Amino acid sequence: MKVVVLGVGNVILADEGVGVRVIEALERDYVMPPGVTVIDAGTSGMEMLEDMSNLDFLLVVDAIAAGKAPGELVQLRGDEVPVFFRRNLSPHGIGLSDVLASLEFLGAEPKEMVILGVQPTSLDLSTELTPTIAARVPELVAQVVDELTQRGLAPTRK
Amino acid sequence: MSKRITVDPITRIEGHLRIDVDVDGGKVNKAWSSGQMWRGVELILQGRDPRDAWTITQRICGVCTTVHAIASVRAVENALQLEVPLNAQYIRNLIILAHCVHDHIVHFYHLSALDWVDVTSALKADPDKTASLAESLSSWNRNGKHEMRAVKERLAGFVNGGQLGIFTNGYWGHPAMKLPPEVNLLAVAHYLQALEVQRKANKIVSILGSKTPHIQNLAVGGVANPISTDSQSVLTVERLLAIKGYIDELADFVKNVYLIDVAAVGAFYADWTKYGAGITNYLSVPDLPLDTKGTQFALPGGYIDAGDISKFKPITSFNDDFWGKGVEESVKHSWYEYGDKKPLHPYKGETKPVYTDFQDNGKYSWLKSPTFYGKPAQVGPLAHVLCMFAAGHEPTKKYATAALNTVSALAKTKVGIEALHSTIGRHAARAVRCAVMVDQLADQWGLLINNIAKGDVKTFNQPVFPKGESMGVGFHEAPRGVLSHWVVIDNGKIKNYQCVVPSTWNACPKNEKDEMGPYEASLVGNPIADPERPLEVLRTVHSFDPCIACAVHLTDTENEQNVSIKVV
């Protein structure tokens, strides 16, 4: 199995950086099993092509503007995933959607994708998450661990 | 009667740029370039430790991560007049070069080629004819007929499956598309090969920078790569040899594919050498320092006034006052206020937002308007190539001449360096620069190896912050042009920080004297065949490789379109 957990977002725009903060927490608290790579992608695009090629499973953690209450968790899987990128719900979805489209053209797209997100409270200039969203980080971390465990790739706590 | 066209956003990647043009008689007669987001990273940096600034500035933008990191450490080092060990310069130079080669390849093939290449026309191509055409132009080993047949088959499957994906925004069948089907197929084949090759450049950044996309190895005073010839965890001989392998693969592609494709596209679109010159004051800076003080550089830079390369004036060191005193920014047409103050030098720059709506004759952009000695200036690969050419830089002259000779042979007419002042010329210059850069990758690699072989393993000089105030500027000739970070440090903390980024130079609104910026000026006079599908606007703006430092872009969840084009 080749699996990537990808945290995306801009850490200088408050809750926009939640995906990256989840990755930081995962790197701090867990050891990943072989085959699972955890990546802080920030807002990058084509640089991710190599790491995202020929994956069995891609798990993306991101801020999602889905018209929900701030702090509400959102999960997208299966057919909902392409819609997520087409509609560009993510504040920085352009780079990632280009990578996925390129992967499709190369025939190297992920076999399965799940997006774990949270509706942001603030996208103002700040290097800190708002308290509402910061409080959700442990739940998002637990969801990532859960998704991996279900696929027989349980991370171990440090 | 003139028609107003608005394209928003115009970039395929990061950032949020809106372009408005008035079209009259099939031509653009007025243009506005508007940055649609607020860049306020400067405010986050105030009060912080200057040694941490680079980790934050590399988050400004997802495309230009390393370049902001480099400019930031250079600014602080300049304020402290801190020397940087040779190994650190070479390692930084290698990161700069690999990032740049990656950026130039991706820009041409993945972000702008579709302005010139009609993907659906490629389905009509004869793959065997495509292969013989390609083999007549280049010795590249992946131009054969089996490769071309396979690409056509894959493309057909992709298009027939309704999965246009990355190609959905293309203007297929547009009257301004001029390439024959075989050239279109060749371009699609190289588009796919470029997707593979660009990874090699990224691997170099990843090995040297410890991580990608956000490098971890920089430090004010050097780099954090311990060098050893025996330990596994550091920069070993084995890793250095892997880097050399990637460099060789990149060089093969850049010289035998990229440079030739750009010349071929240029020959078929020779009319585009007449459009898009815009502002011909060109500004670049020297880069790839070869000494610890930053007074000798592998690549020259400087200023050319009004397109006259005989009047090139060089910028010679990180401390050169010709550079440091020439830059100012105006906010007359930007959504900021400077009170009653006129344009300000970046050390005195302020970031006080004041949003109005889009005012054609007033404020209409979040970008400030920078000038060099009071004049707008174009930055980017074209500016850099013309400045290096003017400075007599031999490799630049060699590759520029080779590219122009290929164009001349294909177009069956003599095409000289003056053709570079144009929309298509910016693409040609970027390819020429990429060839220069890929040779430099090998050169800098050799310098690093030789220096280590001499027994020098030093990579870091400890910074010491004096009491009181100090100021510094870090400049870098980034893939999109001159990038500069300006820092004022007071008692070891950041007091003021301003970034003057390449896209600010090029995409800026009108300046204090109401003169147009480079994007705007380059659009005026462009033909527009079909106002509903303003492909020509995209061609000219994309030729600059637009990337407005990333901030935030929330689209309506009910709106399926990312790109809106309004014709009023």
Handedness of CA B471, B477, B482, B483 (dihedral sign): negative
**Which amino acid, B488?**
V
Q: What is the torsional sign of CA B117, B120, B125, B127? A: positive
What is the per-residue pLDDT for A90? 46
The DSSP element (H or E) to which B204 belongs, if any, is helix B181-209
Helix (H/G/I), strand (E/B), else coil: A154: coil
- The CA angle B424-B430-B435, to the nearest 5 degrees, is 130
Residue of chain A whose alpha carbon sits nearest to that of B212 = A47
Predicted pLDDT at A124: 80
- Spatial neighbors of A77 by CB under 8 A, at least 6 apart, are A113, A114, A115
| The pLDDT value given to residue B485 | 94
**Residue closest to B200 by CA, chosen among B112, B105, B287:** B105
Of A16, A49, A102, nearest to B552 by CB-CB distance is: A16
* Shortest CA gap B553–chain A (Å): 5
CA distance B262 to B423: 12
Separation in Å, CA of A125 to nearest CA in chain B: 7
- Answer yes or no: do B60 and A12 touch at CB < 8 A: yes
Higher pLDDT, B407 or A105: B407
Asked if B199 and A98 come within 8 Å (Cβ–Cβ), the reply is no
Q: Which of B442, B445, B327 is nearest to B379 (CA)?
A: B327
Q: Which spans in B391-534 are helix H? A: 394-411, 423-453, 502-507, 518-523
Give the pLDDT of residue B27.
95
**Predicted confidence (pLDDT) at residue A88 exceeds the cutoff of 90:** no
Nearest to B213 among A13, A42, A92 (CB): A42
Is B214's CB within 8 Å of A42's CB?
Answer: yes
**Angle made by CA atoms B217, B221, B225, in degrees to the nearest 5:** 30
Q: Check CB contact under 8 Å for B550 and A127.
A: no
Rounded average pLDDT over A53-61: 95
CA dihedral A148, A149, A152, A158 (to 10 degrees): 90
Q: Does A125 touch chain B (CB under 8 A)?
A: yes
| Residue pair B508/B365 in contact by the 8 Å Cβ criterion | yes
Chain A residues inside the 8 Å CB shell of B198: 46, 49
Residues A94, B553: C-beta atoms closer than 8 Å: yes
**pLDDT < 50 stretches in chain B:** 11-15, 549-568
Single-letter amino acid, residue A104: E
> Active-site residues of B: which are they?
14, 61, 64, 68, 480, 503, 547, 550
CA B132 to centroid of chain Cα atoms: 33
Task: Please give the backbone phi and psi of residue A74, each rounded to the nearest 5 degrees, phi first.
Answer: -130, 135
Contact A12 B59 (CB under 8 A): yes
* Cβ A89 vs Cβ A80: under 8 Å: no
Residues 6+ apart with CB under 8 A from B409: none
Two structure tokens written together for B197: 């090759």
B-chain residue closest to A128, CA distance = B44
Phi/psi of residue B556, each to 5°? Answer: -60, 130
Report the alpha-carbon distance of residue B305 to residue B492 in Å, rounded.
39
Asked whether B266 and B407 are in contact (CB, 8 A), the reply is yes
Identify whether the C-beta of residue B12 lies closer than 8 Å to the C-beta of residue A88.
no
Burial pattern A84-112, b for ≥16 Cβ within 10 A else e, equals bbebbbbbbbbbbbbbbbbbbbeeebbee
Interface-testing mutation among B58, B59, B102, with chain A (most A C-beta atoms within 10 A): B59
Q: How far apart are CA B275 and CA B539, in angstroms?
A: 10
Residue B202 and residue A47: Cβ atoms within 8 Å? yes
- A49–B44 C-beta distance less than 8 A: no
ipTM for the whole complex: 0.83
**Quick one: DSSP state of residue B486?**
E
More confident of the two residues B554 and A101? A101
CB-hemisphere CA count at 13 Å for B315? Answer: 29
Share of chain B above pLDDT 70, in %: 90
Q: Rounded to the nearest 10 degrees, what angle do helices A18-29 and A137-150 cross at? A: 60
pLDDT at A25: 97
Alpha carbon of A50 to those of A37, B105, B341, B359: distances in Å? 12, 15, 49, 44
Question: Within an 8 Å CB–CB cutoff, is residue B158 touching chain A?
Answer: yes
**What angle, rounded to 10 degrees, do the helices at B145-160 and B127-137 form?**
130
Mean pLDDT of chain A: 87
**How far, in whole angstroms, is CA B249 from its chain's centroid?**
22
Cβ–Cβ of B212/A47 closer than 8 Å? yes
CA distance linking residue B441 with residue B94, whole number of Å: 6
Determine whether B251 is exposed, middle or buried from the number of CB atoms within 10 Å of its CB (0-12, 13-18, 19+). middle
pLDDT of residue B564: 43
Q: Is the pLDDT of residue A105 over 70?
A: yes
Q: One-letter amino acid identity for B482? A: V
CA dist B544 → B113, B423, B455 (Å): 13, 8, 43
Using DSSP's 3-state secondary structure scheme, residue B344 falls into: strand
Would the CB atoms of B550 and A43 count as touching at under 8 Å?
Answer: yes
Q: What is the DSSP letter of B361?
A: T
Reading the block at residue B171, the tokens are 């203007």
Tell me the chain A residues in contact with residue B199 when contact means C-beta distances shorter than 8 Å: 49-50
Contacts of B260 by beta carbon, 8 Å cutoff, 6+ apart: B137, B138, B406
For A91, the closest of B61, B102, B552 (CB atoms) is B552
- Confidence (pLDDT) at A35: 95
Token couple for A17 = 């950086």
CA distance, residue B61 to nearest chain A CA (Å): 7
What is the predicted pLDDT for the residue at A85?
59
Q: Where are the beta strands (DSSP E) in A9-157?
A: 30-31, 36-42, 57-63, 73-77, 113-118, 156-157
Q: What is the DSSP letter of B346?
A: G
Mark yes or no for CB contact A88/B555 under 8 Å.
yes
B44:A92 CB<8 A? no
Question: How many residue contacts between A and B have a Cβ separation below 8 Å?
Answer: 116
Concatenated DSSP letters for B268-292? HTGGGGSS------EE---EEE-SS
Residue A123: band (very low, low, confident or very high) from pLDDT cuts 50, 70, 90:
confident
**B203 → chain A, closest CA residue:** A50
Contacts with A, B 203-222, CB within 8 Å: 203, 205, 212-214
On whether any CB of chain A is under 8 Å from the CB of B195, the answer is: yes
* Closest by CA position to B174, among listed B523, B426, B528, B524: B528
Please tell me which residue of chain A has the smallest CA distance to B155: A105
Contact A126 B56 (CB under 8 A): no
Kindly state whether A44 is in contact with chain B, defined as any CB-CB distance less than 8 angstroms: yes
Nearest to B59 among A10, A88, A94 (CB): A10
State which amino acid sits at residue B123: L
Confidence (pLDDT) at B170: 64
pLDDT digits (tens, 9 = 90+) for B200-222: 999 999 899 887 778 889 999 99
Q: How far is CA B509 from the centre of its chain?
A: 19
| Cα-Cα-Cα-Cα dihedral sign, residues B394, B395, B397, B398 | positive
* Amino acid B236: pLDDT: 79
Q: Among partner residues A16, A104, A125, which is closest to B44 by beta-carbon distance?
A: A125
Closest CA to B506 of B556, B475, B540: B540
Q: If contacts are CB pairs under 8 Å, which of residues 84-113 in chain A contact chain B?
A: 86-89, 91-92, 94-95, 98, 100-102, 104-107
Q: How far is A158 from chain B (nearest CA, A)?
A: 22
Partner residue opposite B554 with nearest CB, options A41, A91, A95 = A91
3-state DSSP call for residue B254?
Answer: helix
Identify which of B11, B12, B199 has the shortest CB distance to residue A49. Answer: B199
Residues of A in contact with B193 (CB under 8 A): none
Tell me which residue in B110, B163, B562 faces A88 most closely, judged by beta carbons: B562
- Token duo for residue B227: 């060098």
CA B185 to chain centre: 26
Spatial separation of the C-alpha atoms in residues B397 and B417, rounded to whole Å: 10
Using the beta-carbon criterion (under 8 Å), do A46 and B213 form an inter-chain contact? no
B-interface mutation test, from A12, A38, A47, most B Cβ less than 10 A away: A47
Which residues lie below 8 Å from residue A5, measured CB to CB, with a gap of 6+? A23, A26, A32, A36, A37, A38, A39, A59, A61, A144, A148
Predicted model pTM: 0.91
Distances (CA, A) of A120 to A117, A133, B61: 9, 7, 20
> What's the gap between Cα B49 and its chain centre?
29
**Residue in B432, B387, B407, B171 with CA at minimum distance from that of residue B287:** B387
Query: Does the N-terminal peptide bond of residue B9 adopt cis geometry, omega within 30 degrees of 0?
Result: yes
